[in-house]
């Protein structure tokens, strides 16, 4: 009997171009209990998994009103780089920026000092003195990435 590696299975299902229905089924099987309280419950999947070039604004607006947004964001940061779609109000690009310790930019906008968002779950917010679990996780991810680059 061959052992199944759940992380490899997740990576294959969540890779760009993977079937959205399979991704959602996989997530739903292993989802944390708080997800049942999300504002996304009952919303069309296409809202949170827009095609390349489509706007993610509707999903982000729903997430901003969600009572479990911060828990969702923290969970999405823990899932790694293969996760696609909008989770916790952040796109894949924004999650990557958070893991790398960079300022989070709004979707569709170019980075710049007048367009940076220092939200919970960002190193910028951590450096401004916030020590919530999301900001600490972002800072740990930044430090790990820095140590990996240094070791290479």
pLDDT of residue 141: 85
Q: What string of pLDDT tens digits covers the 152 residues of the chain?
A: 444 444 555 555 555 666 666 666 666 666 788 888 999 999 998 899 988 888 889 999 999 999 999 999 988 888 887 888 999 999 988 888 888 887 776 665 554 554 455 677 777 767 666 777 887 888 888 888 888 888 87
Domain co-membership, 2 together with 48: yes
Q: Are 99 and 152 part of one and the same domain?
A: yes
Same domain, 84 and 100: no
In this structure, are 50 and 110 located in the same domain? no
Confidence at residue 35, expressed as pLDDT on a 0 to 100 scale:
86
Residues 73, 97 share a domain: no
Q: Identify the residue whose tokens are 């940076």.
A: 116
41 with 72: CB under 8 angstroms? no
* Same-domain pairing of 86 and 115: no
Domain that holds residue 124: 91-152
> Which residue, 90, 122, 139, sits at the end of a domain?
90
Instruction: Report the C-alpha gap between 94 and 52 in whole angstroms.
Output: 15
Return the biggest CA–CA distance within the chain.
56
| Residue 77 sits in the same domain as residue 101 | no
60 and 8, same domain (yes or no): yes
The answer on 139 and 118 residing in a single domain is yes
Residues 17 and 57 in one domain: yes
For the packed helices 69-78 and 92-99, what is the interaxial angle rounded to 10 degrees?
A: 70
60 token code pair: 């982000």
- How far is CA 13 from each of CA 8, 21, 40, 61, 72, rounded to the nearest angstrom? 9, 10, 20, 26, 19
Boundary-marking domain end, from 56, 90, 124: 90
Q: Are 113 and 104 in contact (CB under 8 A)?
A: no
Q: Whats the size of the chain, residue-wise? A: 152
Contact 97, 103 (CB under 8 A): yes
User: Domain total for the chain?
Assistant: 2
Cα dihedral across residues 24, 79, 39, 53: positive or negative: negative
Q: Are residues 115 and 70 both part of a single domain?
A: no
Q: Which of 43, 64, 90 is the last residue of a domain?
A: 90
Is the Cβ–Cβ distance between 84 and 92 less than 8 Å?
yes
Co-location of 75 and 18 in the same domain: yes
């Amino acid at each position: 009997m061959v052992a199944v590696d759940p992380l490899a299975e997740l990576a294959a299902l969540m890779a760009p171009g993977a079937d959205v229905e399979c991704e959602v089924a996989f997530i739903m099987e292993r989802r944390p209990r708080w997800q049942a309280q999300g504002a996304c419950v009952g919303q069309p999947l296409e809202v949170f998994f827009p095609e390349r070039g489509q706007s993610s604004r509707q999903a982000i607006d729903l997430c901003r009103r969600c009572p479990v947004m911060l828990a969702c964001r923290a969970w999405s940061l823990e899932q790694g780089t293969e996760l696609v779609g909008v989770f916790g109000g952040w796109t894949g690009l924004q999650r990557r920026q958070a893991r790398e310790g960079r300022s989070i930019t709004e979707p569709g906008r170019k980075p710049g000092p007048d367009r940076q968002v220092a939200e919970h779950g960002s190193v910028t917010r951590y450096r401004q003195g916030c020590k919530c679990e999301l900001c600490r996780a972002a800072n740990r991810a930044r430090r790990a990435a820095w140590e990996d680059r240094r070791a290479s």
